[in-house]
Amino acid sequence: MNKAENSCSGKNCCTPNKSISCTVCECVHHCTGENYCSLEKVKITTHEKNPTECRCVDCSSFAPKN
C-alpha cells in the first residue's frame, strides 16, 4: 500500500473512493459506515482457468482487519 492509499483501522477513519463500491466490512480498506473502499485502486484476479461467473473472481487487495 502506498502513501496515497488510506486504510481503515477505526470508525470513519478513511477517505472513501466513490469509484470503488465495497460491502466487505471485514477488510481493513473498507470505510466504516460507508460502502466504499479507501484504496486508490484495487487488484481483481481469478482463481479459475476460465472464469465464467462472478464468483470466479476475487479482490486481491483484500486485507483482513486485525
Domain spans, the chain: 1-66
Residue 66 pLDDT: 85
Backbone dihedral region for residue 43 (phi beyond 0: left; psi -120 to 50: alpha; all else: beta): beta
Residue 32 pLDDT: 86
Residue 22 pLDDT: 96
**Residue 59, H or E segment:** strand 57-59
Output the average pLDDT for the chain: 85
The model carries a pTM of: 0.73
Name, in order, each residue with C-beta under 8 angstroms of 17's C-beta and a sequence gap of 6 or more: 36, 37, 38, 39, 40
pLDDT in tens, 19-50: 999 999 999 999 988 999 999 999 999 999 99
